[in-house]
Structure 1
């Protein structure tokens, strides 16, 4: 659920050179989603939302896509994005991945066009196939 933390407060948690990059991320996410951001868990800047339900019975609401910045930029995407779009990740630039997160040390080191395409595809996947996040 969105928290009472403001977007500015969440963005101020970025450290070092990433602090100057968070406004670029905010602008990119807003442009891709056409949504107003909300802060989740006091630090994650999320856009849109969807309801999920696991087979275990756990249910909740999560942002469609989101990011948090601190010692690195963490982008929250559709589960399995790395397996879906390895061609894009090959062209992105320096990064790490996990099941649903893309980690960037510096936004300035990645191809912004490729990053935008990853965000667009992830958002479309969440909107078209919400079950991929279960």
Structure 2
């Protein structure tokens, strides 16, 4: 019998979808890609978080950084996602860090220069419940 780790990523995700219970996270990542834009909110997908917590399904986050994308947005070497050995189980905090490195633009989390935060990890209860002025949200400067 083939182990889960030997399957391509898409098959590991399908198996996980069938057998793992989705996990809702209370964490949110609020980030700004530029000074003039509104803040973005990254919410972990419950099925993805279940995969991260279970382990043996997701490839190392560095694999996503090694993808070659052409001028039309096509991935040229997507096979590396399926051929790289998956990482083990993560804590929820480690999964959030993984997700930041995977889905938030690198210039936000890599570049620490400047005198204001570019992203914060918070609980969903710390965000305004009223979304009426969502397009005007910005990270508050802490002095």
Q: Compare relative contact order (CA 8 Å, sep 6+) and give the higher one, 1 or 2.
A: 2
Q: Same fold (TM over 0.5)?
A: no
Q: State TM-score, norm by structure 1.
A: 0.29
Task: Give the number of the structure whose residues are more often helix, by fraction.
Answer: 1
Q: Which structure's residues are more often strand, by fraction?
A: 1
TM-score, length-normalised on structure 2?
A: 0.28
